[in-house]
Structure 1
Amino acid sequence: MPAPVPNPCGPALAQWLVRWPVQAHTRVAVAYSAGADSTALLLAAHAHWPDRVAALHVHHGLQAAADGFEATARAVCRGLNIPLLVAHVQAAPTPGQSPEDAARTHRYAALADLAREADAGLVLLAQHADDQAETVLLALSRGAGLPGLAAMPERFERHGMGFGRPLLDLPSSALRAWVQDSGHAFVDDPSNADTRFTRNRIRAQLLPAWQACFPGFRPMLARSARHAAQAQGLLDDLGRIDLARVGDPPAIAALQALGRERQANVLRHWLRLHWGVVPSEAQMDQVLDQLAACRTRGHGIELKVADGTLRREGARLAFSRPAQAAPI
């Protein structure tokens, strides 16, 4: 009888831990949807930390099949003796918000809450090379800047919790094949075939076309994303340096001493740092034009930026949101 094929998530997790070490005795949680990808990751994490892993399952309440996902998650975790924590959330989108964005926002908040309940210091996510490729192509189609082209980072903080993505170099096909061949139970989300969702259209139509033209393209897109992330890191460093120079909030005269590109970079850094705001290209162009024209004491600035207003207050800029809006 041939030896069983090892879980491909094991080496990927080990390599990720070299870059992002986890302190001894830290409890680790896995975001577990009961799909093939998160099943492979949960099993690899359980093998690495036999007594320190918890599974977190978010029931979005968006489709009838969600009850079956939870039932499978409970059965698998019971068989492995892995603690499972479940959150039921209503992830309906707000006006103007896509269903994907609404589900993502609720999911991360729920995962952070569940992780704290499990006394975990880290949540592992099963997003893989196909997800990363989809994210890069989606960013390209939207004309995104470096933050968008950098796609998904392999380690980040959100809602006061650390998150990690150790599988970004593994294709989905490798994960699914291993889970199927190993006989582990998992579920298929029927909504993944719904091409009304942008990511599903990319997955079903665009990725196969790219594969036909450029076999093995996924690592190349991942490399481009890493280059974009490195470049954005340098811009963030420059933004911190320039913000210390122009003041916080920024002084208009000090901003005018910088070139237009550095003005844009430091203002983006300032807005993202305090409010999580990302101005559009058109909005930033308006801001920079007004800054260039602001040469007299009576020149006012009041411009819409994202969900708030950027205005001149004396010698400095200020940003505010309507009272009912909350920071991201």
Structure 2
Amino acid sequence: MAASRKTPPDLIDRLTQQWPDLESGHSVLELGLSGGLDSVVLLHLLCRWRAAGGPSLSAVHVHHGLSAYADAWAAFCEALCRDKGVPLRVERVNVSRAGGESLEAEARKARYAAFGKSSAKVVVLAQHQDDQAETVVLQLLRGGGPHALAAMPAWRRLGGLSLWRPLLDVPRSALQAYAEAHGLAWIEDDSNADPRWRRNWLRLDWLPSLAEVQPDYRRSLARVASNMADAAAMLDELVEQDRALCEVDGRLGLAKLSSLSPPRQRQLLLRWAQSHGLGEGTPAALEEFRGQLWTAARDRNPLWSLPHGAVQRYRAALWPVPDLFGEVPEACEISFDPASRADLPQWGGVLSWRADPRGLELRLGQPLVLKPRQGGERLAQAAGRKPVKTLLQEAGIPPALRTRWPLLFDQSHELVALPSVAVAYDAKSGGGERWWPLWQPKAWQGYGSVE
């Protein structure tokens, strides 16, 4: 903990001038308070603003449990907020490498999940110009593109709330001068001195060496982030234009895609796959798939495997395929309700119903069973019993999705429908109201069923 006396920089005006009119209706801010220098200074500034008629204030401290001092840090924040009259919530999170990412990345995810629980519309974070410079260098070392090199935006959405970083143009030295001038106390995270963390190595070793030859590197790297943010925004606009050109019902048409330059193809494929929740693969895998789009024989169906599914070429279009390598779901019972949309996460989609004279005659609450394909199933049609495989092919369902397409059975274990594709011919007779089952894989939500 520390304290001293110097003339503070005029930070309060810089803070309030960043507050846009569009956010003026939000009367409560919540500060992410670690207890470190930057967040303690920001707490002091926000309390001054509150006293001058600014927004009300609360705070959140995320207890990661990764340090032996974690309880002491939480107690420090509680005492500080109690003294300032600021409501504080302490969020205890469990951080592990179970997700396959680094401990830093998992801790960051847990922090933002805690921020997302805020009842305020704006969560204020205390990252400063030094943090921004470090982030730019880290992303550069990782080979990041424009979006990565744009680093941290001053404003961004997180679910239903906004994250605001008002100190990104303020160097840490200015924050320390302010804290010392106001006699503020803060905690020092012992892990910040551990050079095994790459960010700490940058802060403790590499960046001080850079400062010897370029003292204004922070401003220069912040300018890089600003320029890259503009470039990323322009790239976003171009990708959206290309998507509007190529996409129909959630699928990308190859004819239109082929009219784009290779860089635009790559960007569209990456962003399109991410928008369907499929994740991001390696550049080499993307380039191999992109080449196969134009060279593979027409009867082949190239597949781009991704962390959370795949993209498959089929019949002159690209299809999003969610959770390709997950376990095949087990049979499940449902009750017919035409007003409901049954979200079936184990199947990776939503089952709904549409009134249709071609459909099944069903009564409210009638039990039905969804089963996965086993192979060899046939569905009664006017011309006889037709293989399910053939019906799926005729409906244009790509091969990777066929094993996950649900089959609908009645109580007597008779196959009565292939949702969105066909219903049993002999199930259509009768005089009651008829309903057509619709299946919407989760990657297509917002685009409708296959019909």
Q: Do both proteins adopt the same fold according to a TM-score greater than 0.5, normalized to the shorter chain?
A: yes
1:17 aligns to 2:9 (yes or no) = no
Following TM superposition, by how much is the alpha carbon of 1:282 offset from its aligned partner in structure 2, in angstroms? 1.7
1:34 aligns to 2:38 (yes or no) = no
Letter in 1 for 2:93: V
Identify the residue that residue 89 of structure 1 maps to in structure 2. 93
The SS at the match of 2:31 is strand
Would you identify which runs of 4 or more consecutive aligned residues in structure 1 move more than 3 Å? 3-9, 322-327
Instruction: Check 1:97–1:216 CA distance in 2 against 1; reply closer, same or farther (3 A cut).
Output: same
Counterpart-to-counterpart distance in 2, 1:15 and 1:213: 33
Instruction: Check 1:276–1:223 CA distance in 2 against 1; reply closer, same or farther (3 A cut).
Output: farther
Letter in 2 for 1:45: L
Bigger RCO (CA 8 Å, 6+ sep): 1
Identify the residue that residue 80 of structure 1 maps to in structure 2. 84
Partners of 1:8 and 1:175 within 8 A in 2:
no
Following TM superposition, by how much is the alpha carbon of 1:210 offset from its aligned partner in structure 2, in angstroms? 1.2
Following TM superposition, by how much is the alpha carbon of 1:307 offset from its aligned partner in structure 2, in angstroms? 4.1
Counterpart-to-counterpart distance in 1, 2:61 and 2:45: 17
Identify the residue that residue 364 of structure 2 maps to in structure 1. none
The SS at the match of 1:134 is helix
Counterpart-to-counterpart distance in 1, 2:9 and 2:77: 19
Following TM superposition, by how much is the alpha carbon of 1:185 offset from its aligned partner in structure 2, in angstroms? 2.2
Letter in 2 for 1:213: V
Letter in 2 for 1:174: A
1:43 aligns to 2:47 (yes or no) = no
Counterpart-to-counterpart distance in 2, 1:167 and 1:309: 40
1:229 aligns to 2:229 (yes or no) = yes
The SS at the match of 1:311 is strand
The SS at the match of 1:285 is helix
Q: How does 1:119-198 map to 2 (within 5 A)?
A: 120-198=120-198
The SS at the match of 1:223 is helix
Q: How does 1:248-267 map to 2 (within 5 A)?
A: 248-267=250-269
Deviates more, 1:170-179 or 1:129-138: 170-179
Counterpart-to-counterpart distance in 1, 2:39 and 2:278: 29
Counterpart-to-counterpart distance in 1, 2:224 and 2:56: 35
Match of 1:292 among 291, 294, 297: 294
Counterpart-to-counterpart distance in 2, 1:21 and 1:179: 30
The SS at the match of 1:282 is helix
Partners of 2:136 and 2:149 within 8 A in 1:
yes
Structure 2 runs not aligned, ≥5 long = 328-345, 349-441, 443-451
Normalising by structure 2, report the TM-score: 0.67
Match of 1:283 among 274, 282, 285: 285
Following TM superposition, by how much is the alpha carbon of 1:274 offset from its aligned partner in structure 2, in angstroms? 2.9
Counterpart-to-counterpart distance in 2, 1:164 and 1:62: 26
Following TM superposition, by how much is the alpha carbon of 1:276 offset from its aligned partner in structure 2, in angstroms? 6.9
Partners of 1:151 and 1:225 within 8 A in 2:
yes
- Superposition RMSD in Å: 2.2
Match of 1:58 among 45, 54, 62: 62
Following TM superposition, by how much is the alpha carbon of 1:273 offset from its aligned partner in structure 2, in angstroms? 2.5
Letter in 2 for 1:16: Q
Partners of 2:278 and 2:307 within 8 A in 1:
no
Identify the residue that residue 205 of structure 2 maps to in structure 1. 205
More strand by proportion, 1 or 2? 2
Following TM superposition, by how much is the alpha carbon of 1:277 offset from its aligned partner in structure 2, in angstroms? 2.8
The SS at the match of 2:252 is coil
Identify the residue that residue 243 of structure 1 maps to in structure 2. 243
Letter in 2 for 1:238: L
Partners of 1:62 and 1:92 within 8 A in 2:
no
Partners of 1:25 and 1:52 within 8 A in 2:
no
Counterpart-to-counterpart distance in 1, 2:110 and 2:278: 17
Counterpart-to-counterpart distance in 2, 1:268 and 1:235: 12
Following TM superposition, by how much is the alpha carbon of 1:301 offset from its aligned partner in structure 2, in angstroms? 1.1
Greater C-alpha radius of gyration: 2
Match of 1:68 among 72, 94, 99: 72
Partners of 2:8 and 2:174 within 8 A in 1:
no
Counterpart-to-counterpart distance in 2, 1:276 and 1:104: 21
Counterpart-to-counterpart distance in 2, 1:308 and 1:194: 38
Structure 1 runs not aligned, ≥5 long = none
Instruction: Check 1:204–1:43 CA distance in 2 against 1; reply closer, same or farther (3 A cut).
Output: same
Deviations 1:20-39 (A, max 9, x none): 74223531111001111001
Instruction: Check 1:57–1:276 CA distance in 2 against 1; reply closer, same or farther (3 A cut).
Output: farther
Identify the residue that residue 309 of structure 2 maps to in structure 1. 308
Following TM superposition, by how much is the alpha carbon of 1:141 offset from its aligned partner in structure 2, in angstroms? 0.9
Counterpart-to-counterpart distance in 2, 1:251 and 1:231: 27
Partners of 2:33 and 2:60 within 8 A in 1:
yes
Counterpart-to-counterpart distance in 2, 1:151 and 1:163: 14
Following TM superposition, by how much is the alpha carbon of 1:85 offset from its aligned partner in structure 2, in angstroms? 1.0
Deviations 1:67-105 (A, max 9, x none): 111111011111110111111001122253111100000
Counterpart-to-counterpart distance in 1, 2:35 and 2:10: 17
Counterpart-to-counterpart distance in 2, 1:307 and 1:163: 27
Normalising by structure 1, report the TM-score: 0.90
Letter in 1 for 2:17: Q
